[in-house]
Structure 1
Amino acid sequence: MISKQETFNLSPYMALYDLIIPKDNMLRQINEVVDFLFILDELKSKYCLDNGRNAIPPIRMFKYLLLKAIHDLSDADLVERSKYDMSFKYFLDMAPEDDVIDSSSLTKFRRLRLQDMNLLDLLIGKTVEIALERGIITSKTIIVDATHTKARYNQKSPKEFLQEKSKNVRKAVYQFDENMKGKFPAKSTSNEVAEELDYCRQVVKIVETQTKISQIPVVKEKLNVLKEVIDDYDLQLSYSTDPDARVGHKSADSSFFGFKTHVAMSDERIITAAIVTTGEKSDGNYLQELIEKSKDTSMVINTVIGDTAYSGKDNLQYANSENLQLISKLNPSITNGNGQRKTEFDFNKDAGMFVCPAGHMAIRKARTGKKNDKKSQRLKFYFDIEKCKVCPLREGCYKEGGKMKTYSISIKSTDHKEQEAFQETEIFKELSKKRYKIEAKNNEIKNPHGFHTAKSAGLFGMEIQGATTIFAVNLKRILKLLNEKD
């Protein structure tokens, strides 16, 4: 149950915050800039208003998740720091003497309260609304790109992943006490996940009995990660790897297993839209949705900047119909044919190759046709026939007994002549220089905020992580621009 009315904290110690939290503290500034009542409005339908025990205020629970995104902490470490960090308690609207939550409450909040809620669009929309109201966003330009996030569980079996995390704990312990080597139980020799889970629980129990060692920060950090992984497996024993993660390609020679976040950002470096997908999805297919989502936040747009992945025929036609300047260089491998069959084979601009519906990348390409006859020239992409023979999607794609599988496109089309001429103009060349901004933003999201790796399994968990991370990054950018204005 949650209260229908706001409550006021009457603690006699509240004045301490004015003494120890400086005016320029980021969390204090966020509290001053953002009215978090919009979170209560969105979540109150998930709570009972007149029956049951009093729930932890939804706004406070959300703020815990925001702190987790800002400082890249595990649930347990976040709650631990909230016990003594007065800036955290101030941000959470707690009295200095108040008790913190149990870390398990955060898992329940994510799973029970945030389901069926479009948190990503809600939080981005709120930050853009603040930026527009404060006069921070004045441009009519957005820059688009996609960034990848590796799955938390990679492509390892459950047993391998659990073994890795328990090993990290043991290594951290041995740094301080090598005599602990004889105190851990024998490692599991079977392939049963249940036995490996039991071994991990025993490791946790033994380390926690060694109070001096378990409280050492480096040991405690590894231990908390192992405990979170055990909790994840207790809830979802069915997955052998992340159930939603897919293989995507960063180049012809490198790939990743995880997710993609397709991002649109204003010229002022405020993210205006984002879409979280599995890792194999093509960047260019989400341009139109990113533009529409940005417009839904009240952004006015006349220019869109992106790399060659966004120069497909469908996107060029859409930009023309919406009177938008599309600053995206044509690529001879993507500008023809792919727009008509985008649900089948997708072009990966980093690798310069097409990817089939099953996620397999072409292994080579060749030019066919007469050199002097541009109309007849085509690019032919060749796929690994051994993979095609056993592919679950081979019906209608691979002909049984075939010696090769190829996909061909015409190299040039008259539909792109206008864009070809446009990209030679000075305005195109000048605007295209701004694309570096979104690459820097993607780097900011990944490194200080931990977006390089998923913190939980599944697309839903990735969307929650994306929503809170982008909200935090946008708020930090808004505060910086407001301080510069002052």
Structure 2
Amino acid sequence: MLGRLDQQRNFFDEILFNHMLPADHPLLDIDRAVDFSFVEEETADLYSADQGRPSYPPEQLVRILFLAVWANLSDVQVCQQLRYNVLYRYFCRLGWEDAIPDDTTLVRFRQRLGEERWQRLLQRLVEQARAKGCLKGRWLVMDSSPVVAHAAARTRVQLLREGRQRLVQAVRQAAPPVAKELEALAEPVPDATYEDQDQLLQAEQERTEALLAAITSRQAAKAPAVRRVRKQVERVLKDERVASYADPEARWGHQRQKKPFFGYKMHLATDETGFVLAATVTAGNASDLEGAPALVEQARVQGLRPRRLVADKAYDATRLREDLVRQGIRPYIPQRTQRQRLPKQGFTYDKRRRQWICPEGHRSIGQSPHQRGGWLVYFSERACRGCPRAGRCLSRSQTRKVLYWHPGTEANRPRGLKRALRVRTVIERTFGEAKQWHGLGRSRYRGRERTAIQVLLTCLVLNAKKMARRLQDARGSGHGKRRAMEWAAA
């Protein structure tokens, strides 16, 4: 049954909180600025209206999870703090005699809500901030940042060896005599037997396939645990880029060319002040462009109508620009290094002959379609070989100049890119705050959905902090006095 918060405190709690709470504290500013009553509205369908024992109030549980992220505490630590920390008990609406939820309750509640419902809670907070005048919403700023997985990555050889051990262990629980017959196939192949890593990998694959074939003919193969482990091992054999059995959804990605990471990517969209409007999480090997349409759609669902979008060169795609223009959004996205404006490099286009002309006057001799759209334009090897600019124009592996050209490359590129990129710095500060103060540099959990819930919870905390600061600034300044009075009366 749905439990509800008792908004009336007893006489003893009032005296205790009045004497023990600090006069000024950021958590108290958040408590005054944010109305968490929308939590009960969004979670009421998860509970029976009149059957069963009353649950912990959903708003109270969300406040506890919020507090854990705000103070960068684990579920166990925040439950321990609630036993004696008066400030934390006040924020979480816990009287001195009220029972404290244990960490298992928090884990189950967080998973029960799921990613979609946490998305809705973030949207409700954005709506509240908009109603209180904390949003501008003229710009949409997008970017992504890595979240390191809560698991160690393994090589394929290590995964095959570990997978066989897991398979035999699962068989041992279902049929111990069968596992004893298969123990030899679970042993690793001796490294010294093979000259290179490729041969060793091939031998490990053959031994793993032999173990799978041996298990198939046994009755133990029907056990649920055996089937589950077998699917994981088969994914490794198929080379689906699995790098960990502990977190099979995590993938290797690159923050920069020479800086790989193992985990996930969080994609955020903020307004020009850094207020998080939308968030999504993908595997680490996903491109930034994969998360862009979902972020724009989430912003539009909330009724926001940004007129400009700014992002870095990872979002340089003609299709994305065209989609944004159709939605009435002006894109400010710099070009990738390999897609620099050809006129700036000295190349000109002859529309009548449909040829590109290089700075030395040589014309292109042909073009072929590119898999991502556009064309690859080729120049003559003979002309490039004797060109005085060959040393600067060609790479070491090139024998002739090859250009990438898309007819829409120069379209949808408004002026003011430098100013727009200065606006984009707000999202970098948002990422920095989330990682430095709220532990978002590394996932607390395993799996993409659980990591996404952590990201959404952190975004709730970031937005609540910004709301409290802005409303406090509005109350303290003459310019925002009217808005502050309206907020106080609400």
Q: TM-score range by the shorter chain?
A: 0.5 to 0.7
Please say if 1:322 is aligned against 2:322. Answer: no
SS at match of 2:256: coil
In structure 2, the partner of 1:413 is: 406
Please say if 1:429 is aligned against 2:418. Answer: yes
Contact kept in structure 1, 2:79 and 2:103, CA below 8 Å: yes
In structure 1, the partner of 2:138 is: 140
Percent identity reads 23
In structure 2, the partner of 1:216 is: none
In structure 1, the partner of 2:126 is: 128
1:69, distance to aligned residue in structure 2 (A): 1.0
- How many Å separate the matches in 1 of 2:305 and 2:248? 38
SS at match of 1:84: coil
1:375, distance to aligned residue in structure 2 (A): 7.9
Contact kept in structure 1, 2:5 and 2:59, CA below 8 Å: no
Of 397, 421, 436 in structure 2, the residue corresponding to residue 447 of structure 1 is 436
- How many Å separate the matches in 1 of 2:364 and 2:467? 50
Within 5 Å, give how 1:101-180 maps onto structure 2. 101-111=101-111, 113-115=112-114, 118-156=116-154
- How many Å separate the matches in 1 of 2:408 and 2:288? 21
Contact kept in structure 2, 1:156 and 1:241, CA below 8 Å: no
Cα 1:309–1:193 change in 2 (3 A) is: same
In structure 2, the partner of 1:354 is: none
Within 5 Å, give how 1:187-226 maps onto structure 2. none
CA RMSD, aligned part only? Answer: 3.3
In structure 2, the partner of 1:265 is: 270
Q: Which stretch of the first structure deviates more once superposed, 253-262 or 411-420?
A: 411-420
Post-superposition Cα deviations, 1:379-406, rounded to whole Å, max 9, x if no partner, equal 999xxxxxxxxxxxxxxxxxxxxxxxxx
- How many Å separate the matches in 1 of 2:117 and 2:11? 33
SS at match of 1:96: coil
Within 5 Å, give how 1:243-392 maps onto structure 2. 243-331=248-336, 333=338, 372-373=362-363, 376=366
SS at match of 2:408: helix
Contact kept in structure 1, 2:435 and 2:441, CA below 8 Å: yes
Within 5 Å, give how 1:40-79 maps onto structure 2. 40-79=40-79
Within 5 Å, give how 1:11-26 maps onto structure 2. 12-26=12-26
Please say if 1:438 is aligned against 2:427. Answer: yes
Cα 1:192–1:4 change in 2 (3 A) is: closer
SS at match of 2:267: strand
1:435, distance to aligned residue in structure 2 (A): 1.6
In structure 2, the partner of 1:173 is: none
- How many Å separate the matches in 2 of 1:81 and 1:121? 28
- How many Å separate the matches in 2 of 1:325 and 1:289? 17
1:22, distance to aligned residue in structure 2 (A): 3.1
- How many Å separate the matches in 2 of 1:484 and 1:377? 59
- How many Å separate the matches in 1 of 2:463 and 2:370? 43
Please say if 1:460 is aligned against 2:449. Answer: yes
Larger Rg: 2
SS at match of 1:437: helix
Post-superposition Cα deviations, 1:165-215, rounded to whole Å, max 9, x if no partner, equal xxxxxxxxxxxxxxxxxxxxxxxxx967999xxxxxxxxxxxxxxxxxxxx
Contact kept in structure 2, 1:17 and 1:90, CA below 8 Å: yes
In structure 2, the partner of 1:220 is: none
- How many Å separate the matches in 1 of 2:28 and 2:57? 19
Cα 1:30–1:411 change in 2 (3 A) is: same
Cα 1:443–1:4 change in 2 (3 A) is: closer
Aligned length: 352
In structure 1, the partner of 2:202 is: none
- How many Å separate the matches in 1 of 2:77 and 2:280? 29
The unaligned stretches of length 5 or more in structure 1 are 161-189, 196-235, 337-368, 382-408
Cα 1:44–1:480 change in 2 (3 A) is: same
Post-superposition Cα deviations, 1:30-77, rounded to whole Å, max 9, x if no partner, equal 222222221111212212222222221111111111111111111111
1:306, distance to aligned residue in structure 2 (A): 0.5
Q: Which stretch of the first structure deviates more once superposed, 17-26 or 436-445?
A: 17-26
1:108, distance to aligned residue in structure 2 (A): 1.8
The letter of the residue matching 1:459 is: R
- How many Å separate the matches in 2 of 1:242 and 1:289? 24
Q: Which stretch of the first structure deviates more once superposed, 49-58 or 438-447?
A: 49-58
The unaligned stretches of length 5 or more in structure 2 are 159-163, 170-227, 233-243, 342-355, 372-401, 477-490
Query: Which TM-score applies when normalising by structure 1?
Result: 0.65
SS at match of 1:13: helix
Cα 1:242–1:5 change in 2 (3 A) is: closer
In structure 2, the partner of 1:390 is: none
- How many Å separate the matches in 2 of 1:374 and 1:153? 51
The letter of the residue matching 1:289 is: A
1:123, distance to aligned residue in structure 2 (A): 2.8
